[in-house]
Amino acid sequence: MSRKFVLILYLIFFLGSFHELWSRTLFVGKKAYPHRIQQAIHMANHGDTILVSRAHYFEKNLIIDKPITLIGLDFPILDGENKYEVLSVKASHVTISGFHILNSGASSLQDLAGIKIYDSSHVRIINNKIANSFFGIYVQYGSHCLIKNNTILAAGKDEQASGNGIHCWNSHHLHISDNVITGHRDGIYFEFVTHSVIKNNRSFRNLRYGLHFMFSNHDTYLKNIFSDNGAGVAVMFSNHVHMYYNVFRQNWGDASYGILLKEISDGQIRYNVFEKNTTGIYLEGVNRLHINQNKFVRNGWALKIQASCADNQIHLNHFIGNTFDVSTNGSLVLNNFDHNYWDKYEGYDLNVDRIGDIPYRPVSLFSVILERNATALIMFRSFIAALLDKTEKLIPSLTPDLLKDNAPLMRPNIL
């Protein structure tokens, strides 16, 4: 190793240590200098920390254009006065934590937000409260960003006049966890977002979807709770999406679902709970999906699987207390339903191997009639409807012959 090269290494190390040594902490507040947050941002150098004391700040649009840390002490209020974007992040390696952000502006031409990230990476949005903002947190062309432990509240009454709680567009490697989102158009929205994780969030009482995926591949969401949303959750036009340990609950309405899946392929839905939804999972144009070890409890329809779906593996699930276990709109079935537990199964197990000796056909004749004529629902639970279903089980004629579980479980497994 040459002497010149060694000197260069020492110089790099010295400059890095020098930068750490001279990074500063600036204070903002009534007894601090400077008195305004934007002034402190202007004075800060790369790597500095700005501490903001508790107060109510009206500073129009705060622009962060350098890598700094902005920390609120005891949740100071940043108020957009229903006119401005509150915080605009236009630099990488920025941290924002501990603020109460209120009243961003709303616009049909601009996506104004409480916090908006523009074309930046390694941004951390942690432990903030955001209320009454058009969009809560907006990520545009972001990468390797962390959005964690924020509470994002709104009181939207009209989808057209409301933004999304966490909106992510054309980004990758995002981590969104431990947030509470309510009252928005969509709780969490992904479009053209890849290799990202949504974990431990609670998204409820949003006007449309608790979670909305569009054209977003190789993403994972796990251990989230989606409840009481206008239309449930929608995952569309995506592939390699993995969904584990989530709860989809109380999504009721004519067009509400635990999950609506449209044009999805090569993903996994495992260990989830679908409880008290109009439809647990609605599948259209879905291929090569593994739906395994989930619980479908007290839904209107547990599964609605359209004839456009193929090569899906639906195994080891529990179907308990659903009005209809499975419904379809076609006669050709290209999916596998073996080894599930069905509480309506009336078969027997003579060899005591815990697997039913006769197949179970989860599609009832009445559900087939409903697919063709929804007004027939008025006859539900009538003597005629029960007689039709009993007759169909003995002599199948209208229900799909191949849609059956050839090895139904006699008792539920531990999931």
Q: Which domain holds residue 116?
A: 23-230
55 domain-assigned: yes
- Above 70 in pLDDT, residue 16? no
- Above 90 in pLDDT, residue 274? yes
pLDDT of res. 157: 78
Mind listing the pLDDT tens digit for each residue in 44-77?
Answer: 999 999 999 999 999 999 999 999 999 999 999 9
Pairwise CA distance, residues 9 & 316, whole Å:
59
- Above 50 in pLDDT, residue 11? no
Residue type for position 393:
K
pLDDT of res. 302: 96
213 domain-assigned: yes
pLDDT of res. 351: 87
358 domain-assigned: no
- Above 80 in pLDDT, residue 110? yes
* CATH number, domain containing residue 86: 2.160.20.10
Q: Which of 1-10, 147-156, 249-258, 302-311 shows the lowest per-residue confidence on average (mean pLDDT)?
A: 1-10
What tokens does 400 get?
A: 């799909």
34 domain-assigned: yes
Against a cut of 0.75, is the pTM above it? yes
Q: What is the DSSP string of 349-375?
A: -TT-SSB-SS-B----HHHHHHHH-GG
Pairwise CA distance, residues 200 & 222, whole Å:
7
- Above 70 in pLDDT, residue 388? no
* Pick from 371, 372, 364: nearest CA to 390: 364
Question: What is the average per-residue pLDDT within 335-353?
Answer: 90
Q: Domain count of the chain? A: 1
- Above 80 in pLDDT, residue 286? yes
171 domain-assigned: yes
Pairwise CA distance, residues 149 & 181, whole Å:
10
pLDDT of res. 352: 85
Question: What is the average per-residue pLDDT within 368-377?
Answer: 58
- Above 90 in pLDDT, residue 9? no
Q: Which of 176-185, 299-308, 318-327, 361-370 shows the lowest per-residue confidence on average (mean pLDDT)?
A: 361-370
| Position 225 confidence tier, pLDDT thresholds 50, 70, 90 | very high
Residue 175, beta-bridge partner list: 146, 197
Question: What is the average per-residue pLDDT within 359-378?
Answer: 67
- Above 50 in pLDDT, residue 181? yes
408 domain-assigned: no
247 domain-assigned: no
Place of tokens 């559900």: 367
pLDDT of res. 34: 81
